[in-house]
Amino acid sequence: MKYLLFTFVGVHLFSLNSGKAIQRNDISQRTFQEIKEEIAHYGDVAKAIINLAVYGKAQNRSYERLAFLVDTVGPRLSGSKSLEKAIQIMYQSLKQDGLENVHLEPVKIPHWERGEESAVLLEPRMHNMAILGLGGSIGTPPEGITAEVLVVTSFDELQRRAPEARGKIVVYNQPYTNYSQTVQYRVQGAVEAAKVGALASLIRSVASFSIYSPHTGVQEYQDGVPKIPTACITVEDAEMMSRMVSRGNRIVIQLKMGAKNYPDVDSFNTVAEIIGGKYPEQVVLVSGHLDSWDVGQGAMDDGGGAFISWEALSLIKDLGLRPKRTLRLVLWTAEEQGGIGAFQYYQLHKANISKYSLVMESDSGTFLPSGLQFTGSEKARAIIKEVMKLLQPINITQVFSNGEGTDINFWIQAGVPGASLLDDLYKYFSFHHSRGDTITVMDPKQMNVAAAVWAVVSYVIADMEEMLPRS
C-alpha cells in the first residue's frame, strides 16, 4: 500500500500570470539556458495548479465526476447504446464546465456483442469455467463445440505439435512476462490455432495477477485463415489443464458462444478546448478514451485517463489561465478495437500536423504516477525534463522513454512529440479488461496527483513561446 505524503505548497495567486516567456527578436537562436529560465518562471503557476488539484476546492473532483458517469451508464463497449449515452453526457458536461469549442466529431466504429457464453470441462471431471469471449470473435453453433483439448505454452510448441491440433480446441497456457510480449497470444491465438486446423482457441488471460478473473480484449482474424471462436480463460484454469495433461489426462471441453458481429455504427470523438491566446492554430492535445469493454465499469481503462484529461483543462480554466496555444481535449471512441476513432481523427486533422506541439494520452492507469513517458527529439526531451522539475512539490519529476498510446501513436509515428503517464502496471494489469475494473479500484487522492501532473505539463508546453522541437 502506498501512502501519499504532501507538504502544502505556498503560492501567491497574484503572480499566476508570471510564467511569461522570455521574448527575443530572434527566438531561433535562443540558448538552452534561456529556455530553462523561461520554464522556471512557471513555478508559481505550477504551484497554483498543484494546490487547486491536490489540496483545494478541486480535490477529488475528477474521481467524483468519473464515479457519476460509470455508475450511471456502466461499461461502454464500441457500438453500444451505453457508449453513445456516455458521449452525450460528456458533451453536455463539457459545455456546462465552460470549456470552449465543445463539439462532437462523427466517426464509424465496430459493433460486436458477446451474447451468452459458457465453457464446461467434461473430462476428466465436470467443471464450469469462467470465460470472456474476445472482441470480434465469431460465435459457435447453437449446440456449441465439444472437442478434446490440446494445451500449449507457446506458438513454437503449437507448430511442433501441429498434427495433434486438428479438430481440437487449443488452450494457450503462455507465461506472463509483460503485457506487450504476452498480449500477442490474445491477439493472434485464434489465427495460429486455425492455421493448424483447430476448432476453437482458449487463451490464458493476459494478467499480472488473478483471483479467478478472465480478462477480455481485442483479437484479430487474418484474411485467408478460417475464423474460429476464441475466448480468454482464467490463469487458474489454464494452469490446471496444463497440470492435467502432464499427468496423461484426456481433456474435453464444451464451448458455447453467442457472439455476433454487426455492421459499423455511428459514433463520435468528443472535443473541447481552451483556445490559445496568441497562437490559437497551434495545439497541445490532451486525451483519454471514453469507450471500454463490456465488463466491469471501465473506470480504470480508461475512465481515469479521460477524466484527468478533462480535469487538466478544468484546473487551468478555474485559475483563469489562457495559454498561448490551444489546449485541446479529445475523448476517443472505439480505442479498444484498435484506435478506430483516433485513426479517423488523425485522417481528418493530419493536414495540420505541423501545428501540433505535443500529443498526450493517459491510458495506463491513474494511480500514483512515477513520472512522464516521452517520445521525441533529444532537444524536446531536455525541455520536458525542465518542465517536470516544476512538479517537485509532489515529488513526481522523472522522465522516462517510450511515451505512447494507441490513440496518439499515429501522430508520434509521424514525428509529433508524445507523452503518457508511467503508472503501477502490475496493479493496472491485475484489473485490466476484467469485471474488476470498477470505481472501487480508483483512489481519488491519486487521481488528484495524476491530474496535477497532466495539467502542469500540458499548460506549460502550451504557453511557452516556442513549440517543442522535432529535430
Cβ atoms of residues 412 and 190 within 8 Å: no
DSSP-derived 3-state class of residue 392: helix
Contact of 110 with 136, CB cutoff 8 Å: yes
Find residue 329's DSSP bridge partners: 272, 286
3-state secondary structure 330-350: EEECCCCCCCHHHHHHHHHHH
Rounded-to-integer distance, Cα 260 and Cα 247, Å:
37
Q: How far apart are CA 357 and CA 325, in angstroms?
A: 9
The 3-state DSSP composition of the chain as helix, strand, coil percent (nearest 5) reads 40, 25, 40
Q: Give the position of cell 475512465.
A: 303
Closest residue by Cα to residue 305 from 282, 283, 326, 330: 330
Question: Is residue 112 within a helix (H) or strand (E), and if so which, with residue range?
Answer: strand 100-113
**Closest by alpha carbon to 403, among 351, 359, 434?**
359
Phi and psi at residue 263, in whole multiples of 5°?
-60, 155
Cα Rg of the chain (Å, integer): 24
Q: How far apart are CA 49 and CA 457, in angstroms?
A: 11
Catalytic residue set: 335
Which DSSP category does 414 fall into?
T
What are 127's strand-pairing partners? 121
Q: Which three cell numbers stand for residue 82?
A: 451505453
Residue of 123, 187, 179 whose CA lies nearest to 155? 187
Burial of 213 (0-12, 13-18, 19+ CB in 10 A): buried
Q: How far is CA 209 from the centre of its chain?
A: 19
**Sequence-separated (6 or more) residues with CB below 8 Å from residue 66:** 299, 303, 304, 306, 307, 439, 442, 447
**Rounded-to-integer distance, Cα 171 and Cα 443, Å:** 36
The answer to whether 139 touches 258, Cβ cutoff 8 Å, is: yes
